[in-house]
């Protein structure tokens, strides 16, 4: 259905440990930033029409199309930003 396998492989290639899980009937990948904060990519059936990201090496069918929401309370965002960028998720 979705792109979790693509993102799991991509994150692992960047040295990020990933765990598959399911919550509320949705498949997801769980991983942590360098401060130990848990992050998740959640697979949905919802499709959104977006243009390709210029200069990115992520195929159009695997781009992240929606953010449900993010709430992070940390003293420094640098470790979270670093793991997202190294995993190819960007910001």
Q: What is each CA distance from 29 to 51, 68, 72, in whole angstroms? A: 24, 15, 18
- Whether 70 maps to a domain, the answer reads yes
Q: Which residue has the higher pLDDT, 44 or 91?
A: 44
- Give the mean model confidence (pLDDT) for residues 11-21: 92
pLDDT given for residue 48 in this prediction = 57
Q: Output the pLDDT for position 87.
A: 74
Sole residue written with tokens 């799991």: 8
- DSSP symbol at 3: S
2 pLDDT above the threshold of 60: yes
The verdict on residue 91 lying in a domain is no
CATH number of the CATH domain containing 14: 3.10.180.10
Answer yes or no: pTM beyond 0.85: no
Q: How many domains does the chain have?
A: 1
* pLDDT exceeds cutoff 60 at 3: yes
Please give the pLDDT value at position 65: 65
Contact 48, 66 (CB under 8 A): yes
């Amino acid at each position: 259905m979705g792109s979790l396998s693509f993102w799991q492989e991509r994150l692992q290639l960047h040295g990020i440990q990933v765990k598959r899980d399911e919550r509320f009937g949705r498949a997801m990948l769980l991983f942590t930033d360098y401060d130990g904060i848990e992050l998740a990519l959640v697979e949905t059936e919802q499709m959104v029409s977006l243009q390709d990201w210029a200069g990115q090496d992520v195929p159009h069918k695997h781009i992240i199309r929606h953010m449900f929401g993010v709430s992070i309370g940390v003293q420094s965002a640098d470790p979270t930003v670093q793991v997202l960028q190294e995993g190819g998720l960007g910001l």
